[in-house]
């Protein structure tokens, strides 16, 4: 009986050791990620769509679309003896891709906040043509804020699920509360330089302005009733 217990304990210790040796993903900030990819012995993976990749990506990144049908086959081309640095646009897809890579035995470093965070720090970026569209200038943006009305600016992107959920009631607010507030929606993909200048590192973000000064800000999703209440509060304080 004693020998059986010893064997069971040794087996349990072996299992614990194996579990402890299991690779965990490391969620790192832009500074650590930037330093890490300077090494020649890493693999840099962009898991966004080809369209997003072509509009701007971290130099030397390979594009394997997490939402595509070939992702599982594509990662077979990667070397398990070298770490994989992975990113997407804001972090959701890269988190899923990182979990998949880890399950396949890779050591994974994931960029916190994705490409939005990378751009907010004005770090290097490449495009297929090496020419980036700048979109709206800061001067143009400031012009939008002028006037007697309050201005609600919604920073969004087509790939952002919370942004899509907010779009219908933002349009309703634009119509129903037009006397109090002007709603402006700005696509961060089409206006990259502006997003960088304003330090937009995650979306959705709402900014409410009065007399050209920001008086309220919301980071992340907000419900319609709460948003209307916030606008009304500042509208009645005129």
Catalytic residue among 84, 115, 153, 163: 163
Phi-psi region of 141 (alpha: psi -120 to 50; beta: other; left: phi over 0): alpha
Catalytic residue among 97, 115, 160, 198: 160
Among residues 89, 159, 79, 95, the alpha carbon closest in space to that of 125 is found at 89
Q: Report whether the peptide linkage leading into residue 52 is cis, meaning its omega lies within 30 degrees of zero.
A: no
Q: Half-sphere exposure (CA, 13 Å, Cβ side) for 136? A: 21
Whether 163 sits among the annotated catalytic residues: the reply is: yes
| Rounded Cα gap, residues 151 and 184, in angstroms | 7
CA distances (Å), origin 137, targets 134, 146, 150: 8, 15, 20
Whether 160 sits among the annotated catalytic residues: the reply is: yes
> Catalytic residues, which ones?
160, 163
């Amino acid at each position: 009986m004693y020998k059986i217990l010893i064997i069971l304990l040794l087996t349990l210790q072996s299992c614990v050791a194996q579990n402890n040796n299991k690779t965990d993903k490391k969620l790192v900030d832009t500074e650590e990620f930037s330093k890490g990819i300077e090494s020649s012995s890493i693999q840099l993976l962009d898991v966004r769509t080809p369209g997003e990749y072509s509009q701007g990506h971290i130099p030397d990144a390979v594009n394997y679309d997490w939402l595509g049908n070939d992702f599982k086959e594509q990662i077979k081309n990667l070397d398990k003896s070298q770490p994989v640095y992975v990113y997407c646009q804001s972090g959701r897809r890269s988190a899923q891709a990182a979990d998949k890579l880890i399950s396949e035995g890779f050591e994974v470093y994931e960029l916190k906040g994705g490409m939005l965070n990378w751009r907010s720090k004005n770090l290097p970026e490449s495009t297929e043509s090496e020419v980036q569209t700048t979109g709206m200038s800061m001067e143009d943006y400031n012009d939008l804020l002028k006037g007697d009305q309050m201005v609600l600016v919604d920073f969004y992107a087509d790939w952002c699920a919370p942004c899509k959920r907010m779009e219908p009631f933002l349009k309703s607010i634009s119509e129903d509360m037009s006397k109090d507030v002007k709603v402006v929606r700005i696509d961060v993909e089409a206006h990259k330089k502006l997003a960088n200048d304003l330090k937009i590192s995650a979306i959705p973000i709402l900014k409410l302005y009065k007399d050209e000064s920001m008086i309220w800000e919301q980071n992340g999703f907000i419900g319609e009733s709460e948003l209307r209440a916030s606008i009304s509060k500042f509208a009645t304080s005129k």
